[in-house]
A and B are shown apart, each in its own frame.
Chain A
Amino acid sequence: EAGVAQSPRYKIIEKRQSVAFWCNPISGHATLYWYQQILGQGPKLLIQFQNNGVVDDSQLPKDRFSAERLKGVDSTLKIQPAKLEDSAVYLCASSLDRLYSPYIYSQYFGPGTRLTVL
Chain B
Amino acid sequence: AQSVAQPEDQVNVAEGNPLTVKCTYSVSGNPYLFWYVQYPNRGLQFLLKYITGDNLVKGSYGFEAEFNKSQTSFHLKKPSALVSDSALYFCAVRDNNNAGNMLTFGGGTRLMVKP
User: Shortest CB–CB separation between residue B42 and chain A, in angstroms?
Assistant: 6
A-B contact count (CB 8 A): 60
A45 at the binding interface (Cβ < 8 Å) = yes
Interface string of A10-45 (1 = CB under 8 A from B): 000000000000000000000100000000111111
When the two chains form their complex, are residues B43 and A111 in contact, meaning their CB atoms are under 8 A apart?
A: yes
Contact, CB under 8 Å: A99 / B105: no
Tally of contact residues, A, Cβ under 8 A: 27
> Across the interface, do B43 and A45 meet the contact criterion of CB distance under 8 Å?
no
Within 8 Å by CB of B105, from A43, A108, A112, lies: A43
Most central of A44, A91, A100, A106 by chain B CB within 10 Å: A106
Q: What residues of chain B lie closer than 8 Å to A43, measured between beta carbons?
A: 44, 90, 105
**CA separation between A104 and B34, bound complex, in Å?**
11
- Which chain B residues border A6 with CB–CB below 8 Å? 43
Complex Cα–Cα for A110 and B43 (A): 5
Q: Which residues of A sit under 8 angstroms from B107, Cβ to Cβ?
A: 40-42
Q: Which of B92, B100, B103 contacts A99 (CB 8 A)?
A: B100
Collect the chain B residues with CB atoms within 8 Å of residue A45's CB. 102-104
Binary flags per residue of A54-70, CB closer than 8 Å to B gives 1, else 0: 01100000000000000
Judging by beta carbons under 8 Å apart, are B43 and A107 in contact?
no
Task: List chain A residues, Cβ under 8 A from B55.
Answer: none
Q: Any chain B CB within 8 A of the CB of A75?
A: no
Which A residues fall within an 8 A CB radius of B? 4, 6, 31, 40-45, 48, 55-56, 91, 93, 95, 97, 99-100, 104, 106-112, 114
27 pairs of residues in contact across A and B, judged by CB atoms under 8 Å: A4-B43, A31-B101, A40-B108, A41-B108, A42-B4, A42-B90, A42-B106, A43-B44, A43-B105, A44-B105, A45-B103, A48-B100, A48-B101, A55-B101, A93-B43, A93-B44, A99-B101, A104-B49, A106-B34, A106-B49, A108-B46, A109-B36, A109-B43, A110-B43, A111-B41, A111-B42, A114-B41
